Amino acid sequence: MKDLTHYINGERVSGTSGRFSDVFNPATGEVQSRCPLASKEEFDQAVEIAAAAQPAWGATNPQRRARVMMKFVDLLNRDMDKLAEALSSEHGKTFPDAKGDVQRGLEVVEYCIGAPQMLKGEFTDSAGPGIDMYSMRQPLGVTGGITPFNFPAMIPMWMFAPALACGNAFILKPSERDPSVPIMLAELMEEAGLPKGLLQVVNGDKEAVDAMLDNETVQSIGFVGSTPIAEYIYGRGCSNGKRVQCFGGAKNHMIVMPDADMDQAADALIGAGYGAAGERCMAISVAVPVGDEAADKLIEKLVPRIEKLKVGPYTAGDDVDYGPVVTAAAKQNILGLIESGIQQGAELVVDGRDFSLQGYEDGFFVGPHLFDRVTPDMDIYKKEIFGPVLSTVRAGSYEEAIGLAMDHEYGNGTAIFTRDGDAARDFANRINIGMVGINVPIPVPLAYHTFGGWKKSAFGDLNQHGPDAFRFYTRTKTITSRWPSGIKEGGEFNFKAMD
Ligand code: NAD
């Protein structure tokens, strides 16, 4: 049994708490390694090391910091396959999807190469007589982040790249379910030229998270994960005086108008609903066709596409559509919600409950499911399933459809499929959801825009990546400066004639 490590002060170090959690191979169900769970003392020690390393890094010319990011991009590209392999083996997602996970993080690193431009500050000449006023963005000091299992490369990079580019130290507490890639990333950052102690990975569970929340040196916390934990971290972190941003769960609706291209809408739903086994915060989990005719057509087009989906281990090659879910507990939760859907009266049009893969009977695979005639009072509608299960809620009108999405407690992403520009424009303007797609099913903004939901999907004021990240990881200092007349009055400014 392999024991994984933390990454502290530039070294892989063994855990000393004596506590571990199992890391599975989700395709076979076997335990492949153990992840150490840090004690408060181990966490606090990492913070001390980070605090000692940060001032020199904060004082480093931002262009030099950006060069580390530049080199890191090269190393990510060099090791792309290695990272994706490690990621798939612990998470279960397909190999191309694992590369996408690394790639979407890499793009934020590329954006952070612009740190010198982003950190330039503001200057007003002659704000008063002889007075100049300027604002500068300074690093916070030691910052921290807590990340979920579903994007073990991308989300850590969304946090540590801007934090470090701004001159902070960063302590990452990644998901204990797939902890290998974050450590590989920290090693690559050091190979790219990052001094030791500035990016540390401390593995753990609630104990390490609470240590981060209560450590007075930690100035800010970024969190991505489920909503109940997001609320907990936001509340405790803020009351401890920290800057906190937390991103939570989702229930993303896709409205399908009767004038939509139904083949396009069905294709979009297949990728957005079942890709990564539905374990994406931007997955579409609810389809809302408007009118029974549109609903019947959509279901008719979805069923054969769903039946053709190939479910398998990442090792089976590129034609696998999605892999297993992350743990046996996740599988049980999904199957339990499917049962509740049946009991509460939804129509199970595609039933994947019997799915089993020869040679992988103990893996955490879940066959694809499609529900029709789901209603808002059902648990499968209210809760985030985070599995390969698409629910269809039939709406009688556009107003009813937009009302459903607006009334749901989550507000991460949404989409509308239509040929009508007026409906699309109205939808984009009125909807109370952070990320909106128009004929685009997973509207994940690119690195230079910002990412974040509304309502119970996000807590805090600033989004992830884009310009908001530079605001989150710096604080503004504004200086008003007046220099009384000094040496220039008595100075000599003319060439003297030589005697
Ligand atoms: P999770 O909330 O179980 O875990 C997230 C992190 O919190 C992990 O590092 C975990 O160790 C830690 N944690 C878990 N329980 C804790 C506790 N009681 N106290 C303190 N820390 C705790 O989430 P997950 O299952 O890893 O990820 C899936 C969830 O993340 C889904 O809800 C998904 O929608 C959400 N997510 C949201 C976004 C977004 O941007 N909004 C992105 C990705 C995932």
> What's residue 318's pLDDT?
80
Classify 202 as helix, strand or coil.
Answer: coil
Same domain, 32 and 146: yes
Here the ipTM equals 0.99
Same domain, 240 and 275: no
Number of domains in the chain: 2
Task: Find where tokens 């500068």 sit.
Answer: 136
> What's residue 89's pLDDT?
98
Same domain, 222 and 262: no
Cα separation, 387 vs 277, in Å, equals 5
281 is known as an active-site residue: yes
What mean pLDDT is predicted for residues 414-418?
98
What mean pLDDT is predicted for residues 147-162?
98
Nearest CA, atom 16, ligand 1: 206
Q: How far is CA 452 from CA 280, 281, 472, in A?
A: 14, 11, 13
Distance 204 CA to ligand 1 centre (A): 13
> What's residue 28's pLDDT?
97
- The domain that holds 408 is classified in CATH as 3.40.309.10
pLDDT tens digits along 374-412? 999 999 999 999 999 999 999 999 999 999 999 999 999
Same domain, 237 and 305: no
Residue 10, token pair as written in the block:
């530039």
pLDDT tens digits along 43-53? 999 999 999 99
Same domain, 244 and 260: no
Decide: 322 and 367 in contact? Cβ < 8 Å.
no
Q: Answer yes or no: pTM beyond 0.80.
A: yes
Task: Find where tokens 């130290």 sit.
Answer: 169
Q: Is residue 386 part of a domain?
A: yes
Catalytic residue (choose from 35, 112, 166, 281): 281
Residue 489 above 90 pLDDT? no
| Residue 276 DSSP class | G
- The domain that holds 12 is classified in CATH as 3.40.605.10
Same domain, 177 and 269: no
Q: Is residue 490 part of a domain?
A: no
Residue 76 above 60 pLDDT? yes
Distance 142 CA to ligand 1 centre (A): 22
Same domain, 368 and 397: yes
Q: Name residues contacting ligand 1 (CB within 6 A).
A: 146-151, 173, 175-176, 205-206, 209, 224-226, 229, 247-250, 281, 384, 386, 412, 453, 457
Q: How far is CA 17 from CA 5, 207, 494, 495, in A?
A: 12, 11, 73, 74
Same domain, 302 and 433: yes
Q: Is residue 430 part of a domain?
A: yes
Same domain, 430 and 285: yes
Cα separation, 282 vs 435, in Å, equals 9
> What's residue 485's pLDDT?
74
Give the helix/strand (H/E) hosting 471: helix 467-472
> What's residue 497's pLDDT?
66
Handedness of CA 30, 36, 39, 40 (dihedral sign): negative
Same domain, 49 and 9: yes
pLDDT tens digits along 93-146? 999 999 999 999 999 999 999 999 999 999 999 999 999 999 999 999 999 999
DSSP β-ladder status, 2-3 and 435-438: unpaired
Q: How confident is residue 350, by pLDDT bands cut at 50, 70 and 90?
A: very high
> What's residue 159's pLDDT?
98
Helix 206-214 vs helix 40-58: crossing angle, to nearest 10 = 50
Instruction: Kindly tell me the number of DSSP H helices and DSSP E strands found in the chain.
Output: 17, 23
Phi, psi torsion values for 208, nearest 5 degrees: -70, -35
Q: Is residue 340 part of a domain?
A: yes
Residue 112, token pair as written in the block:
């952070």
Residue 498 above 70 pLDDT? no
- Closest ligand 1 atom, residue 210 Cα: 20
Distance 78 CA to ligand 1 centre (A): 29
- When mean pLDDT is compared across 319-323, 355-359, 442-446, 491-495, the lowest value belongs to 491-495
Nearest to 344 by CA among 293, 384, 379: 379
Mind giving me the DSSP string for 64-79?
A: HHHHHHHHHHHHHHHT
If you average pLDDT over every residue of the chain, what do you get? 97
Task: Find where tokens 């269809």 sit.
Answer: 392
Cα separation, 43 vs 204, in Å, equals 9
Q: How confident is residue 25, by pLDDT bands cut at 50, 70 and 90?
A: very high
Same domain, 203 and 54: yes
Mind giving me the DSSP string for 359-388?
A: T-TTS-----EEEES--TTSHHHHS---SS
Q: How confident is residue 493, by pLDDT bands cut at 50, 70 and 90?
A: low
Which domain, by its residues, includes 283? Answer: 252-438
Same domain, 134 and 260: no
